[in-house]
Amino acid sequence: MENLLRGRRLRRLTVDGVDAVFVRDPVLVRRILVSESKNYGKGELFRKARNLSRVGMLSEDEAMHRHYRRLANPYLRATKVDDYVPAMRDIVRDAVSAWRAGDAVDVQAEMCRITCSIAVGTLIAGLSPETTRALSEGLSRLAWEMIRKPLYGRSAARAARPGASGRLSAARKEFRELLATCIADLQESPGPTVGWLADLLTDSDEEGNRVLTAEQVCEEAVMMLTAATVTTASVMSWTLYVLSQNPLAEERLLKDLMQRRSGSAVDDGGGVGYTLRFLMEILRLYPPVWISCRKALSDVMLGDHALAAGTNVVFSSYLLQRDPERYPDPHRFDPDRWSSIQLSKIDASYIPFGIGSKGCIGESFAWQQLEVILDVLTQEWKLSTERGGHVRTAPETTLHPRRLMMVPRPR
């Protein structure tokens, strides 16, 4: 992509066999996502790689989308996420206590297990420990298959054929059945129920009619829970790998995390603590949602360019966030670059969570989860890559390491 678009802010290309316009200008991307977002709907490209529902937050109806964002917001806003921290810490501590010194672990699989346990344990209320564990394990298997699903090209075409994604289909069916049982139990509960799922089930229109069926609630929950886990698991995998390759950064990070736990953190530059700068740089280099598509709903002007209705417009956070005009030496890992960058002026050159009305509703949840996992894990373990191991980037449903085996040693 970098070679095709070098020196070009907008170029017409064939992407996955479909004519599209690829946009690399953050000013134009902001218009697409924010100031002129009403002119653009969901794009058609890459849909085959997603686990989509047609209701709730992923509905084509903008009013319905906004409505279900509002329903989810009380459980994902920053003040509520703070309440989840003790549970998050317990979940991470329990997971990494099973590791054995010197025995290599598949980091991505482990991060799937941890993020899925956190999502189920915090976002779904009123479950028994056994049910919580079964749901977490089922979601982990689904997330693991989702992460590795090809997003474009011949591999994606093969994976989209009937019966080709057997493991993904089986994992999704298993998790949906577990979730459907939980929803049925909530519906049959004699007393009042609380929580996000309960809100979805009781959501009614002005005449008191329920808006979503139990099946549709299940679809919405599968979408939300997979979205909350596959992205964070991929980011956390890169975080642990980069940490193992940068001993000086590791030393500074451990010091900052210790100070944050004790409440004595000191700003060492730019108003942004080192832990946040470290994670921001990981997300700059390895945005999990690395490519996106929108579709022009009518004939529009994008800057000086006329686009016909139906035109697919593609943009990549990976390219935007490695633009040398905004990020000198863009491929170098440098958390301290965020000491001099004014966050209010980043605009669409940094969009790991998207921007605008369709931006990630779980951003606060994700930031908190990343910090908690990093803090608890690094207190217990120091991870290193296996000798001779080479980590390749896999641009699939998420941008993740192709295979990441690491060896834990007691801290």
Q: Report the mean per-residue pLDDT for the chain.
A: 88
Six-digit token string for 385? 């890559």
Average pLDDT over residues 272-278: 93
Residue 229 · residue 391 · CB < 8 Å: no
Q: Confirm or deny that 360 is annotated as ligand binding.
A: yes
pLDDT band for position 162 (50/70/90)?
low
- State how far the Cα of 176 lies from the Cα of 142, in Å rounded to an integer: 10
Q: Which of 7-16, 312-321, 352-361, 369-378 has the lowest mean pLDDT?
A: 7-16
Output the CA torsion 66→67→68→72 (10° steps): 90
Six-digit token string for 101? 């010194």
So what's the pLDDT on residue 55?
Answer: 63
- State how far the Cα of 214 lies from the Cα of 201, in Å rounded to an integer: 7
- State how far the Cα of 157 lies from the Cα of 14, in Å rounded to an integer: 15
Q: Is the pLDDT of residue 52 over 50?
A: no
**103-107, 192-196, 262-266 — which one is most confidently predicted on average?**
103-107
Six-digit token string for 203? 């959501």
Q: Is the pLDDT of residue 51 over 60?
A: no
Closest CA to 14 of 150, 152, 149: 152
C-alpha of 376 from chain center: 20
pLDDT band for position 46 (50/70/90)?
low
pLDDT band for position 48 (50/70/90)?
very low
Residue 199 · residue 330 · CB < 8 Å: no
pLDDT band for position 167 (50/70/90)?
confident
Give the dihedral sign, CA 159/165/168/169. Answer: positive
So what's the pLDDT on residue 153?
Answer: 65
So what's the pLDDT on residue 281?
Answer: 98
| Other C-beta atoms lying within 10 Å of the C-beta of residue 173 | 12
Of residues 83 and 345, more confidence is placed in 83
Q: Is the pLDDT of residue 390 over 90?
A: no
Average pLDDT over residues 105-129: 93
So what's the pLDDT on residue 161?
Answer: 62
So what's the pLDDT on residue 95?
Answer: 96
% of the chain beyond a pLDDT of 70 = 90
Cβ neighbors of 207 (< 8 A, separation 6 or more) are none
Dump pLDDT digits (tens) for 319-348: 999 999 899 999 999 999 999 887 767 789
So what's the pLDDT on residue 149?
Answer: 83
Complete domains list, the chain, with CATH: 2-410 (1.10.630.10)
pLDDT band for position 169 (50/70/90)?
confident
Average pLDDT over residues 199-228: 88
Q: Is the pLDDT of residue 88 over 60?
A: yes
Closest CA to 65 of 75, 76, 56: 56
Dump pLDDT digits (tens) for 277-295: 999 999 999 999 999 999 9
Q: Is the pLDDT of residue 154 over 70?
A: no
- State how far the Cα of 47 lies from the Cα of 339, in Å rounded to an integer: 38
Q: Is the pLDDT of residue 49 over 50?
A: no
Q: Which of 10-14, 94-98, 163-167, 307-311 has the lowest mean pLDDT?
A: 163-167
SS (H, E, C) the chain: CHHHHCCCCEEEEEECCEEEEEECCHHHHHHHHHHCHHHEEECCCCHHHCCCCCCHHHCCCHHHHHHHHHHHHHHHCHHHHHHHHHHHHHHHHHHHCCCCCCCCEEHHHHHHHHHHHHHHHHHCCCCCHHHHHHHHHHHHHHHHHHHCCCCCHHHHHHHHCCCCCHHHHHHHHHHHHHHHHHHHHHHHCCCCCCCHHHHHHHCECCCCCECCCHHHHHHHHHHHHHHHHHHHHHHHHHHHHHHHHCHHHHHHHHHHHHHHHHCCCCCCCCCCCHHHHHHHHHHHHCCCCCCEEEEECCCEEECCEEECCCCEEEECHHHHCCCCCCCCCCCCCCHHHHHCCCHHHCHHHCCCCCCHHHCCCCHHHHHHHHHHHHHHHHHHEEEEECCCCCCCEEECCCEEECCCEEEEEEC
So what's the pLDDT on residue 47?
Answer: 56
Six-digit token string for 109? 């699989």
Q: Is the pLDDT of residue 350 over 80?
A: yes
So what's the pLDDT on residue 347?
Answer: 82
Give the dihedral sign, CA 21/22/24/26. Answer: positive
So what's the pLDDT on residue 376?
Answer: 97
Q: Which of 63-77, 143-157, 317-331 has the lowest mean pLDDT?
A: 143-157
So what's the pLDDT on residue 155?
Answer: 62
So what's the pLDDT on residue 295?
Answer: 93
Q: Is the pLDDT of residue 134 over 90?
A: yes
Q: Is the pLDDT of residue 137 over 80?
A: yes
Closest CA to 227 of 110, 337, 364, 366: 366
